[in-house]
């Protein structure tokens, strides 16, 4: 579309098709079209006019006529479509990754400015002066041994995880961990249960790996793991027991027992995504599902993207002993692991207590920001818009919206005005009546939060969700 604008196929100062109409015509999801429009807007190719849609800019961005033809973004849509496989087209058609990863109110974005970069850099510089050879070659043993040991010690205390260092495999985040688990443990056509609503990234990885996805509803006790009589059990079940994403509930004791019984009976693997459990602001963190009972059929996934910063690209798997060697070999074969110098520095960062100290500081900061945002919602929107789950945890809140309203359109309107929220409906695999907006607060100080919330409120008024009084 960018090339079509540059080449004049779409004349300047003309209106683009509505996102719903274009998505229907191209047989892709509306979210894909919205992401394209958002990218074009951020680059200056289109503008938004309140109440009248999206329009080609009268003046195109400087230098756009000299864009290199080798850049895929400049290829005509027909050429790009012809070069993409059916599997690739499916992946792109369900893509949900946002180009906006910072600012009010990006969900799940930690305040990366608060990380002790100077301290971490000093550790790295010292270790990098005379690095060992085994930290400069490919990793074939699941990652840096010191980091795996540091994680085993930390997770035992902080998350009640039962594992030794040999059961830990370092990954480049949750996405790689999901990909590794599904490639090694599942065949195309196997069934995977996911939460409904749930994280779109997991859903898309399962889809691209050929699994049959079954979305299981979530209530105030977590996932409902009901297996109908004579139904085939899933090969894997993906859950976020400590802090369900995106609704925020935690898996009850009874549901934990149900899941573990089901998994043991049917030889199903439970994959526990423990993405932000460190950030619970009242009471003790809920213990992991993995540590609930000895030798549980649970694969535990964690990440440093929320506790430190996303660009670090480090996460980890804790796997049952029987899976440790196969998954370690598969990880080396598929991904050729590296980043061992950074992993060694992180190991020291954890072992010397800096990691826990940083988490304590951020827990206090995020708790304050959460209370501030919750106060704004209650004061300016009212009790009907308050999150249904009041657990003081995580990095975002869900603002409830009336059933039947278009939360995607509201999010798009807010984005045009510089405020980044995510529509709750995007997290459902199937059509749902529940509508809402995810508001991340972790990377937003109180002044920015106040200003951005005022913009969001104006969007809700303009959309007819709030009265003007």
Query: CA-to-CA distance for 465 and 373, rounded, in angstroms?
Result: 19
- At 68 the pLDDT is 37
- The mean per-residue pLDDT over the stretch 13-42 comes to 73
Judge whether 215 and 222 are in contact, CB under 8 Å: no
- The mean per-residue pLDDT over the stretch 425-447 comes to 90
7-11, 256-260, 336-340: the lowest-pLDDT one: 7-11
| Percentage above 90 pLDDT, the chain | 65
- At 230 the pLDDT is 83
Q: Residue 429 burial by CB count (10 A; 0-12/13-18/19+): exposed, middle or buried?
A: middle
Between 90 and 75, residue with greater pLDDT: 90
- The mean per-residue pLDDT over the stretch 439-451 comes to 96
Judge whether 123 and 348 are in contact, CB under 8 Å: yes
11-20, 124-133, 378-387: the lowest-pLDDT one: 11-20
Question: Which pair of structure tokens corresponds to residue 87?
Answer: 């599997």
Of the candidates 162, 172, 120, the residue with the CA atom closest to the CA atom of residue 142: 172
**What is the SS3 assignment for 251?**
coil
What pLDDT digit, counting tens, does each position of 294-316 carry? 999 999 999 999 999 999 999 99
**Which residues contact residue 240 at a Cβ distance below 8 angstroms, ignoring those fewer than 6 apart?**
195, 198, 199, 272, 273, 274, 275
In the DSSP assignment, the letter for residue 209 is T
- At 16 the pLDDT is 80
Question: Which pair of structure tokens corresponds to residue 297?
Answer: 């059929």
**Which residues contact residue 108 at a Cβ distance below 8 angstroms, ignoring those fewer than 6 apart?**
276, 306, 395, 396, 440, 442
Query: CA-to-CA distance for 158 and 150, rounded, in angstroms?
Result: 12
In the DSSP assignment, the letter for residue 233 is P
Between 35 and 346, residue with greater pLDDT: 346
Question: Which pair of structure tokens corresponds to residue 133?
Answer: 């050879």
In the DSSP assignment, the letter for residue 132 is -
Of the candidates 335, 245, 349, the residue with the CA atom closest to the CA atom of residue 304: 349
Judge whether 65 and 2 are in contact, CB under 8 Å: no
- At 329 the pLDDT is 95
**Which residues contact residue 401 at a Cβ distance below 8 angstroms, ignoring those fewer than 6 apart?**
385, 407, 410, 424, 435, 436, 437, 465
Query: CA-to-CA distance for 375 and 362, rounded, in angstroms?
Result: 20
What pLDDT digit, counting tens, does each position of 47-74 carry? 776 556 787 876 666 545 443 333 344 4
Question: Which pair of structure tokens corresponds to residue 452?
Answer: 């951005």
Task: Give the distance, in angstroms, between the CA of residue 210 and the centroid of all CA atoms in the same chain.
Answer: 21
- At 130 the pLDDT is 87
What pLDDT digit, counting tens, does each position of 392-427 carry? 889 999 999 998 899 999 999 999 999 999 999 999
- At 101 the pLDDT is 85
**Residue 440's beta-bridge partner residues?**
105, 396
- At 134 the pLDDT is 78
- At 396 the pLDDT is 95
């Amino acid at each position: 579309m960018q090339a079509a604008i540059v080449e004049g196929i779409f004349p300047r100062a003309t209106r683009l098709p509505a996102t719903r109409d274009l998505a229907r015509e191209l047989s892709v999801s509306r979210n894909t079209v919205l992401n394209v429009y958002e990218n074009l807007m951020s680059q200056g190719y289109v503008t938004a006019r309140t109440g009248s849609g999206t329009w080609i800019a009268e003046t195109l961005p400087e230098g756009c006529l000299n864009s290199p033809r080798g850049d895929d973004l400049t290829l005509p849509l027909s050429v790009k479509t012809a070069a993409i496989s059916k599997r690739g087209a499916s992946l792109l058609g369900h893509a949900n990754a946002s180009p906006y990863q910072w600012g009010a109110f990006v969900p799940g974005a930690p305040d990366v400015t608060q990380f002790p970069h100077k301290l971490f850099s000093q550790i790295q510089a010292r270790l990098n002066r005379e690095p060992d050879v085994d930290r400069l070659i490919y990793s074939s043993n699941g990652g840096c041994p010191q980091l795996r040991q540091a994680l085993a010690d930390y997770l035992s205390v902080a998350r009640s995880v039962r594992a030794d260092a040999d059961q830990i495999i370092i990954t480049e985040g949750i996405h790689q961990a999901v990909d590794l688990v599904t490639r090694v443990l599942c065949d195309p056509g196997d069934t995977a249960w996911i939460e409904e609503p749930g994280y779109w990234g997991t859903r898309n990885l399962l889809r691209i790996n050929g699994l049959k996805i079954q979305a299981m509803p979530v209530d105030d006790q977590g996932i409902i793991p009901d297996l109908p009589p004579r139904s085939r059990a899933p090969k894997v079940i993906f859950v976020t027991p400590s802090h369900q994403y995106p609704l925020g509930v935690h898996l009850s004791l009874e549901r934990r027992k149900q899941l573990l019984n089901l998994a043991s009976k049917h030889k199903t693997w439970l994959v526990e995504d423990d993405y932000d459990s460190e950030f619970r602001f009242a009471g003790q963190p809920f213990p992991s599902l993995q540590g609930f009972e000895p030798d549980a059929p649970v694969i535990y996934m964690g990440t440093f993207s929320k506790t430190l910063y996303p660009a670090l690209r480090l996460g980890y798997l804790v796997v049952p002993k029987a899976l440790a060697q196969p998954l370690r070999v598969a990880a080396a074969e598929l991904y050729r692991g590296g980043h061992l110098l950074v992993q060694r520095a992180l190991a020291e960062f954890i072992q010397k207590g800096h990691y826990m100290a940083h988490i304590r500081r951020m827990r206090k900061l995020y708790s304050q920001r959460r209370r501030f945002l919750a106060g704004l919602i209650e004061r300016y929107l009212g009790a009907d818009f308050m999150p249904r789950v009041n657990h003081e945890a995580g990095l975002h809140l869900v603002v409830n919206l009336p059933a039947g309203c278009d939360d995607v359109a509201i999010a798009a309107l807010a984005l045009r005005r510089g405020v980044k929220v995510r529509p709750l409906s995007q997290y459902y695999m199937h059509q749902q009546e529940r509508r809402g907006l995810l508001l991340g607060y972790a990377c937003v100080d109180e002044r920015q939060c106040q200003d951005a919330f005022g913009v969001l409120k104006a969007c809700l008024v303009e959309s007819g969700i709030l009265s003007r009084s």
